[in-house]
Structure 1
Amino acid sequence: MSKKIAIIGAGGMAAYHIAGFRQAGAEVIAMADVNHDAAKATAAKQGIPQTFGDVAEMFTALPELDGVSVIVPNKFHAPLALQAMQAGKNVFCEKPPAMSAAEMAELKATAESTGQTLMFNFNNRARPESYAMRGYVTDGSIGTINTCQAKWIRRAGIPGFGGWFTNKGLAGGGPLIDLLHMIDLGMHFMGYPEPAHVLATTYHDHIDNKAFKGPWGIPDNAKGVNDVEAAAHGFVTFKTGQSMSFQVSWAEMNQREECSCVFQGSKAGGMIRRLFGVDGLDETSVDDCELYTVENGLHVNRTIKVAADETMGRERSAANFIKTLEGTEKPLNTPSEALSLMKLIDGAYASAASGTPVAL
């Protein structure tokens, strides 16, 4: 019998979740949003039969729900995920997992005590390039990954001024917590080692300069605040002896937007990279997936060819949630990994505030 899923949050990301759930054979039977009119509009567009303005009311009305997708501002990720698991529902939540490691620890404990599946939309793990590269990791071709460089930089990518993205109380931070994907992907390839120390700096240049606004996001709010960083740079050591550097930004003087994960292993190195076009994913975008090794005494670069995926794994990530519930796939991520990631992010913000390295 197909899994029955509800969507919490009627924003733009809902379309990817809905498509992925349906591709995996699930039924999306309800849409909930505190703005009930928004829920009705999205449900009508997506062919979803029921809508609610209150999540608790939805859980009462639909006991047959197998799971929910949480797509709301960051502040509400943990409360809604907790509410859903306590109501006996499995949860697929947008990133970041929570506002802090303490919140994430509570989520992990609740998932364990209730027996519910808790997963997050770390969609870059689900890109074809990532699946391919992970194959080289798991078959031993790469060996031990010693170091990694994680980068998601934008030249003009602030997602609206004065909205929830630029409000620390609602978002938890700026690009470091928003564009955490490449940090997560690097840790994924490295075997998700436990972070030991982090040294980081944040920068606030351009955070209120509308010349650096991105081509997507939410409407500006003149009465809102812009109290998050515009960029974060740092270095992490792990308890295994591995290390990672990271660069994350919404607004820096870069050539073009780039998200990339580059690593160096004991047997081979590798790179996954997307160079975005002037309008995001247009004809000038470039995708690279490469492996660097030595064969017959010669340095060899291999180009890995995979199918194109303009959703950047968003639909495939959602499909993995359904397949995990069905027992036909392993989960692409776990609460334990999400907790390690949030410890790193907490530590990076603490280091930037203190100007000193932070032990994790």
Structure 2
Amino acid sequence: MSTKIGIIGAGGMVKYHAAGFRKAGAEIVAIADMNLAAAEKTAAREGVARAFGDVAQMLKQCPELDAVSIIVPNKFHAALALQALKAGRHVFCEKPPALNARETRAMAAAAEKAKRVLMFDFNNRARPESRAMMEYISQGAAGRINSAQAKWVRRTGIPGFGGWFTNKALSGGGPVIDLLHMLDLALWFMGYPEPEWALAQTFSDFITDKSFKGPWGIPDSAKGVTDVENACHGFVRFKTGQVVTLQMSWAELIAREEVSVAFQGVKAGGLVRRLFGQDGIDETATDTCELYAQENGLPVNRSIIVPPDETMGRVNAAANFVAAIEGREKPLNTPDQAVNLMRIIDAVYASARTGRPARC
């Protein structure tokens, strides 16, 4: 019997979730969205038989559902995850896990109580480069990783003005919470140490400048709210003594969009990086996956060649969720890791507000 999944939300990410679930052999039974017309349109496009305008209705009328995926604005992640877990369904939730660590802890506790899988779409862990690098790290090639630099920076990448992305009440924040993937990837490489404190500064100089609008996102809303940051720089210390620096931006005067994690271990350093083209289109991107070591008194740089993945792991991340439910693979992420990630995000914002280091 194949795992049966219902998708909550009819936005653009559905195509990746659907492709991943089907790649792993799952069946998509229904799509729910508060906009029933959108749910019906997406269901028709994806070849899904049933569409609903209410999540509770979907859960009640589709008792065969084993799991749901959640693809909605950040504010609703926690409530929908708790609803699905209480109904006995496994949950695959888009990033960020929730608006803050408190909500994420509640989700983790509910998953444990329900004895169900709770995972998040940290898709960059599922990229071929990341998985290959993690294999080397797991085999001890890097040794203890003392430090890392997590970066996702864009020059013109504000995802619309006045929509939910730029409304803090709906999103939880700007690029710090939206582009948390590289921070998560750095922590994954480092063994997800427990955070101690963060020092950070956010910037909002360009957040209302429409010349910094990105080529993706949602339409502008003239009556909407734009009250989030456009960039952040910060530093995180862990109880182990390890450290991470972070740079996240939707709008910053840089040469080109960069998505990267560099790290420095006691045996080797490494770099996983995607440089996008000047127009921000994936097809012109270049990928790097390298290890740096000293051998026989000489510097040795090793290039790791992997197959390209233009979905940046999105399909494989969804497939891993199904495989984890069925016990065929280990989950690529855990609720405890999500809690620690959101503890850092909370501390980054707290430090930016106060101008002082903040406990995680």
TM-score (norm 1): 0.99
* Equivalences for residues 313-324 of structure 1 within 5 A: 313-324=313-324
CA contact (8 A) 2:200 2:233 kept: yes
Deviation, structure 1 residue 116: 1.0
**1-structure distance, mates of 2:155, 2:279:** 12
**2-structure distance, mates of 1:90, 1:359:** 32
2:158 counterpart letter in structure 1: I
- Matched with 2:54 is 54
CA contact (8 A) 1:281 1:310 kept: no
- Matched with 1:111 is 111
* Equivalences for residues 151-166 of structure 1 within 5 A: 151-166=151-166
Deviation, structure 1 residue 203: 0.2
Percent identity, please.
Answer: 64
Deviations 1:171-199 (A, max 9, x none): 00000000000000000000000100100
- Matched with 1:179 is 179
- Matched with 1:191 is 191
Task: Establish whether residue 309 from structure 1 lines up as the match of residue 309 from structure 2.
Answer: yes
Structure 1 runs, 4 residues or longer, greater than 2 Å off: 278-284
**1-structure distance, mates of 2:105, 2:282:** 39
- Matched with 1:296 is 296
Deviation, structure 1 residue 282: 4.1
**1-structure distance, mates of 2:179, 2:173:** 10
**2-structure distance, mates of 1:276, 1:93:** 26
- Matched with 1:339 is 339
- Matched with 2:229 is 229
Larger mean CA deviation between 282-291 and 325-334 belongs to: 282-291
1:226 counterpart letter in structure 2: T
**2-structure distance, mates of 1:222, 1:250:** 20
* Equivalences for residues 71-220 of structure 1 within 5 A: 71-220=71-220
Partner of 1:202: helix, strand, or coil? Answer: strand
**2-structure distance, mates of 1:252, 1:34:** 35
Task: Figure out how many residues of one structure are paired with residues of the other and give that number.
Answer: 360
CA contact (8 A) 1:71 1:93 kept: yes
Deviations 1:292-312 (A, max 9, x none): 011221101111000000000
1:356 counterpart letter in structure 2: R
**2-structure distance, mates of 1:118, 1:281:** 32
- Matched with 1:7 is 7
- Matched with 1:248 is 248
**1-structure distance, mates of 2:28, 2:280:** 29
Task: Establish whether residue 63 from structure 1 lines up as the match of residue 66 from structure 2.
Answer: no
**2-structure distance, mates of 1:277, 1:89:** 41
Deviations 1:254-290 (A, max 9, x none): 1000010000001000000000113333443111000
Deviations 1:326-359 (A, max 9, x none): 1000000000000000000000000000000012
Partner of 2:284: helix, strand, or coil? Answer: coil
CA contact (8 A) 2:161 2:219 kept: yes
1:36 counterpart letter in structure 2: L
Deviations 1:5-35 (A, max 9, x none): 0100000001000000000000001000000
1:313 to 1:282, Cα distance in 2 relative to 1, 3 A: closer
- Matched with 1:239 is 239
Deviation, structure 1 residue 38: 0.1
Deviation, structure 1 residue 291: 0.4
CA RMSD of aligned residues (A): 0.7
**2-structure distance, mates of 1:201, 1:283:** 33
Unaligned 5+ segments in structure 2 are: none
Partner of 1:40: helix, strand, or coil? Answer: helix
CA contact (8 A) 1:108 1:335 kept: yes
Partner of 2:292: helix, strand, or coil? Answer: strand
Unaligned 5+ segments in structure 1 are: none
Partner of 1:225: helix, strand, or coil? Answer: coil
**1-structure distance, mates of 2:283, 2:51:** 38
**1-structure distance, mates of 2:278, 2:51:** 37
TM-score (norm 2): 0.99
Partner of 2:342: helix, strand, or coil? Answer: helix
- Matched with 1:268 is 268
CA contact (8 A) 2:282 2:310 kept: no
- Matched with 2:349 is 349
**1-structure distance, mates of 2:201, 2:283:** 34
2:24 counterpart letter in structure 1: A
**1-structure distance, mates of 2:162, 2:255:** 26
Deviations 1:124-180 (A, max 9, x none): 000000000000110011100000000000000000000000000000000000000
1:50 to 1:330, Cα distance in 2 relative to 1, 3 A: same
